[in-house]
Amino acid sequence: MRWLLMLLVVLNLLFYLYSLNQRSPLVEGEVKTARASSGADLKLLSETKSLAPRVSSNDEDAGCLFLGGFDQESMALAIEQRLLSRDIDSRVKSVDEAAGIDYWVYLPPLVSRQASLRQLRELQSRNIDSYIITVGDLSNGISLGIFSRKDSAESVVSRLQGIDYAASIRELPRTHRSYWVQVAGARQHLLGEPLLRDLMRDFPELEHQQMPCSSIANLE
């Protein structure tokens, strides 16, 4: 009886070892399959575009309120101080815009300053408005006026040619500078309609525009 019991124990042990030996390749195969599957999943995830919306810089730049358009900086500064007193973050910026072309009539510099001064006295003796140029590439030349219209400048050149003076014309870009107060988007809610009406009453020339904060970037 004892030998039969021991035989059963030995047989069970052998059966367990046999089963374990048969199971190992299967487990190893499953591990390999799992690794391959995981690798494939990782590859697919890396190639898949995210469906979550991206926040672009334009979204962050929701816009700023610009108040102004003044010719005088002092008016923009007055508005800035009023806003700052109400804890509304603001700053003054200036904008230079092309405003046309002026036409400068001049006589080129002569060989020496003394020669240019003699020429200047001759012109003034003829009651021709003229001034010596002291700086720049035309230094010691003679300025005969700056005109907003080209035909006016050409008329002066023509008259001077009639008395043997060879005048020239140089185009000068003309700019107009205006001043604005920028109110950041995060603080605009503090600037309500009543305050805006008060500002427009006190500053009749006030303009207000909602634009991207980067619209006016050439300031300071």
The whole-angstrom separation of Cα 76 and Cα 183 is 12
**Tens digit of each residue's pLDDT (9 = 90 or more) over 83-127:** 998 888 889 988 888 889 999 999 999 989 999 999 999 999 999
Instruction: Determine the pLDDT at residue 154.
Output: 95
Confidence of residue 17 (pLDDT cuts 50, 70, 90): low
Distance of CA 131 to the CA centre of its chain: 41
| The domains spanning 62-96+178-205 and 99-175 adopt the same CATH topology | yes
Confidence of residue 16 (pLDDT cuts 50, 70, 90): low
Superfamily of domain covering 99-175: Sporulation related repeat (3.30.70.1070)
The whole-angstrom separation of Cα 103 and Cα 158 is 14
The whole-angstrom separation of Cα 205 and Cα 69 is 8
Instruction: Name the pairing type of β-strands 90-107 and 64-70.
Output: unpaired
Q: What is the mean pLDDT of the chain?
A: 77
Q: What is the mean pLDDT of residues 5-34?
A: 54
Instruction: Determine the pLDDT at residue 95.
Output: 85
User: What one-character DSSP code corresponds to residue 189?
Assistant: G
Confidence of residue 48 (pLDDT cuts 50, 70, 90): very low
The whole-angstrom separation of Cα 79 and Cα 214 is 21
The whole-angstrom separation of Cα 12 and Cα 8 is 6
Of 17-26, 32-41, 80-89, where does mean pLDDT reach its minimum? 32-41
The whole-angstrom separation of Cα 189 and Cα 184 is 10
The sign of the CA dihedral 64, 82, 179, 91 is: negative
Confidence of residue 191 (pLDDT cuts 50, 70, 90): confident
**Tens digit of each residue's pLDDT (9 = 90 or more) over 124-182:** 999 999 999 999 899 999 999 999 999 999 999 999 999 999 999 999 998 888 999 99
The residue ranges of every structural domain in the chain are 62-96+178-205, 99-175
Residue range 62-96+178-205, CATH number: 3.30.70
